[in-house]
Amino acid sequence: MNPLNLVLASMLMFPGHASQAHATHAPAASAPVDKLMQKYQGDAPGASLLVIRDGVPLVRQGYGMADLEQHTAAAPDTNYRLASVSKQFTAASILLLAEDGKLKLTDSIRHWLPSLPASTDKVTLQELLSHTGGLIDYEDLMPANTTQQLNDQDVLRMLSATSKTYFAPGTAYRYSNSGYVLLGLVVEKASGESLPAFMQQRIFKPLHMDHTLMYVRGGPEVGHRAYGYSQVGGAWQRTDQDLTSATRGDGGIYSSIDDLALWDAALYDHRLLSDASRKLAFSPHVKVVGEPYQASYGFGWRITGDTLWHSGESIGFRNVIVRWPRQHLTIILLSNRNDPEPYRTVLAIAQSFLAH
Give the pLDDT mean for 37-50.
97
Q: What is the pTM of this model?
A: 0.92
Q: Which domains does the chain have, with CATH numbers?
A: 3-85+197-354 (3.40.710.10), 89-191 (no CATH)
> How does residue 26 score in pLDDT terms, banded at 50, 70 and 90?
low
pLDDT digits (tens, 9 = 90+) for 74-95: 999 999 999 999 999 999 999 9
User: Which one is catalytic: 84, 93, 314, 335?
Assistant: 84
Strand partners, 312: 319
In the predicted structure, residue 34 carries a pLDDT above the cut 50:
yes
Which DSSP state fits 150? P
pLDDT in tens, 316-343: 999 999 999 999 999 999 999 999 999 9
Residue 84 a catalytic site member: yes
**What local confidence, expressed as pLDDT, does residue 19 receive?**
38
Question: What is the rounded (10 degree) CA torsion for 104, 106, 109, 112?
Answer: -30
Mean local confidence (pLDDT), 272-287: 98
pLDDT at 218 over 90: no
